[in-house]
Amino acid sequence: MDYQNTIAFAKELDSTDKLRDFRKQFFIPQHNNKDAVYFNGNSLGLQPKSTIDYLNQELEDWAALGVLGHANARNPWVNYHESLAEPLSRITGALPTEVVAMNQLTVNLHLLLATFYRPTRERFKIICEAKAFPSDQYALESQVKLHGLSPSDAIIEVHPKEGENIIQTDDILKVIDEHGSSTAVVLFGGVNYYTGQVFDMPAITYAAHKFGAYAGFDLAHAAGNIQLQLHDWQIDFACWCSYKYLNSGPGGVAGAFVHEKHAANKELPRLAGWWGTSKKNRFQMHPQFDPIPTAEGWQVSNAPILSMAAHKAALAIFDKAGMEALLIKSKQLTKFLFYILRDINEKHHRKVIQLITPQNAHGCQVSLFMLEQGREIFEALIDHGVIADWREPNVIRLAPVPLYNSFEEVWTFGNIIQTILNK
Ligand SMILES: *Cc1c(COP(=O)(O)O)cnc(C)c1O
């Protein structure tokens, strides 16, 4: 297709977009009485208009039934989390028995590491990406210290090659080759939060397994954003949050994946709680912990129903749209964005915007290194109601997401930048 950097062309793309009506299912933040251009779905996804009804139902049942709601609510609370497993399995490419909605992301990472990071004298290292999201760095360091080890011995970070922004797959495989036999866990993001790079999860997993290490992934920026096949890729464990691409509200309930080959293994050590034990025995206050032989066996506490109601509302929208259609539109949106950025550079006969995100391995999120007037451009974007994200020294991150963003918004973004550069 021949792209054009015009509003008419953007509108034409919108008019043929099969998912365009999904935008109406979300509240769009306002700026000067108009829809803001919301490109921050990678930090906090927008609120579906249906969320309030899902929440109200649980509030009404709580008001009407009190404790009896556990069994008698329209969606009985004791089983509430079970209804999230199917939609989550479609988003993550997992079996419903391999996924569970529970806790928060970093908490889930700790719970999964409690099981999968069991260092021995011979095998004690964790291989991870350099400059991982700070919460993940803290989690890994504290896990290592919990086992009486030193992070400087046990944590092996993979860096990009000198002068590059992106960690290439061969950089990762080289480190796994070097340290694999003394490595317990290889833990990467699915998508790097800063660069927007999608890591080659199957290749990393294959390499980790070759050396007998586990492969785990933090999918905070991947769930609901890119194609995932956690089951087929043989990933051992993974976790994600629901408030970014999954639109389930600030601090919303997170998710976890444990591959079937481990989930059914009741002997795996774990940090246990009553919600992870056999449902038959749970209310008999049995002294013996008998883990559920699915990902549910990693649950600790009873489920946060209000947060799960918001999650359920958001997941229903994903099911209506379908991951496949979302991925197609996502690719088209970013392709149009890449085209517009190239066009801006060409019109200015020099590189004013440098793309950090690799064009062959990305989801919705695109990170731009602004070579000229970065701060000024970002201020102008804010003045025009574009909600994106600024990272020092000169980086703008934006995420046109397929559920509620349009091609016209992508054009608007480029047009504002161009206006500032032309001044
Ligand atoms: C967003 C994000 C977090 C946030 O952790 P919470 O436990 O949800 O507060 C952690 N890690 C990564 C990679 C993230 O992108």
Q: 296, 321, 346: which is the final residue of a domain?
A: 321
Would you give the distance in Å from CA 128 to the centre of its chain?
Answer: 17
Q: Whose CA is nearest to atom 13 of ligand 1?
A: 133
Confidence (pLDDT) at 279: 87
- Say which CATH number the domain at 373 has: 3.90.1150.10
Centroid of ligand 1 to alpha carbon of 220 (angstroms): 6
For residue 109, the ligand 1 atom closest to its alpha carbon is 7
Number of other CB atoms surrounding residue 156 within 10 Å = 17
170 annotated to bind ligand: no
Q: Quick one: 303 and 177 in the same domain?
A: yes
Confidence (pLDDT) at 1: 77
Q: Quick one: 392 and 254 in the same domain?
A: no
What does DSSP assign to residue 273?
-
Of 321, 305, 310, the C-alpha closest to 90 is 321
- Say which CATH number the domain at 302 has: 3.40.640.10
Mean pLDDT, residues 93-98: 98
106 annotated to bind ligand: yes
Q: Quick one: 303 and 330 in the same domain?
A: no
Q: 292, 321, 350: which is the final residue of a domain?
A: 321
Q: Quick one: 127 and 222 in the same domain?
A: yes
> Which one-letter amino acid corresponds to residue 42?
N
pLDDT tens digits, one per residue of 279-320: 887 777 778 899 999 999 999 999 999 999 999 999 999 999
Pairwise CA distance, residues 406 & 389, whole Å: 18
Confidence (pLDDT) at 351: 92
Mean pLDDT, residues 177-188: 98
Q: Whose CA is nearest to atom 2 of ligand 1?
A: 220
Residue 199 predicted with pLDDT over 80: yes
Q: Quick one: 165 and 77 in the same domain?
A: yes
Q: Quick one: 128 and 60 in the same domain?
A: yes
243 annotated to bind ligand: yes
Confidence (pLDDT) at 287: 80
For residue 218, the ligand 1 atom closest to its alpha carbon is 13
- 1 in any annotated domain: no
Q: What is the domain extent for residue 42?
A: 7-47+323-422
With a Cβ cut-off of 6 Å, ligand 1 is lined by: 104-106, 133, 135-136, 189, 193, 218, 220-221, 241
Q: Which residues pair with 35 in a beta bridge?
A: 30
Pairwise CA distance, residues 120 & 115, whole Å: 13
**51 CB-side CA count, 13 A:** 22
Mean pLDDT, residues 80-107: 98
Element (H, E) at 113: helix 105-116
**34 CB-side CA count, 13 A:** 9
Assigned token pair, 123: 């095998």
Angle, nearest 10°, between helix axes 82-92 and 305-321? 40
- 113 in any annotated domain: yes
pLDDT tens digits, one per residue of 113-141: 999 999 999 999 999 999 899 999 999 99
133 annotated to bind ligand: yes
Residue 415 predicted with pLDDT over 90: yes
- 144 in any annotated domain: yes
Which residues lie below 8 Å from residue 398, measured CB to CB, with a gap of 6+? 39, 40, 337, 365, 366, 368, 386, 388, 389, 413
Q: Quick one: 352 and 297 in the same domain?
A: no
Q: 291, 321, 351: which is the final residue of a domain?
A: 321
- 375 in any annotated domain: yes
pLDDT tens digits, one per residue of 200-254: 999 999 999 999 999 999 999 999 999 999 999 999 999 999 999 999 999 999 9
136 annotated to bind ligand: yes
221 annotated to bind ligand: yes
Mean pLDDT, residues 93-118: 98
Q: What's the predicted TM-score (pTM) here?
A: 0.97
Mean pLDDT, residues 65-81: 97
Confidence (pLDDT) at 285: 74
Q: How many helices (H) and strands (E) does the chain have?
A: 15, 15
> Which one-letter amino acid corresponds to residue 266?
K
Q: Quick one: 41 and 85 in the same domain?
A: no
The rounded percent of the chain whose pLDDT value lies above 70 is 100
Of 201, 226, 317, the C-alpha closest to 42 is 226
Tally the residues of the chain: 423
Q: Quick one: 198 and 212 in the same domain?
A: yes
Q: Quick one: 178 and 117 in the same domain?
A: yes
Q: Quick one: 361 and 314 in the same domain?
A: no
Confidence (pLDDT) at 423: 85
For residue 221, the ligand 1 atom closest to its alpha carbon is 15
Centroid of ligand 1 to alpha carbon of 135 (angstroms): 6
Residue to substitute in 43, 105, 239 for testing ligand 1 pocket (most ligand atoms within 8 angstroms of CB): 105
Q: Quick one: 362 and 310 in the same domain?
A: no
Assigned token pair, 77: 């609370």
pLDDT tens digits, one per residue of 352-375: 999 999 999 999 999 999 999 999
Question: Number of folded domains in the chain?
Answer: 2
Centroid of ligand 1 to alpha carbon of 142 (angstroms): 16
- 2 in any annotated domain: no
Q: Whose CA is nearest to atom 10 of ligand 1?
A: 135
Confidence (pLDDT) at 286: 75
Residue 104 predicted with pLDDT over 80: yes
Pairwise CA distance, residues 60 & 391, whole Å: 43
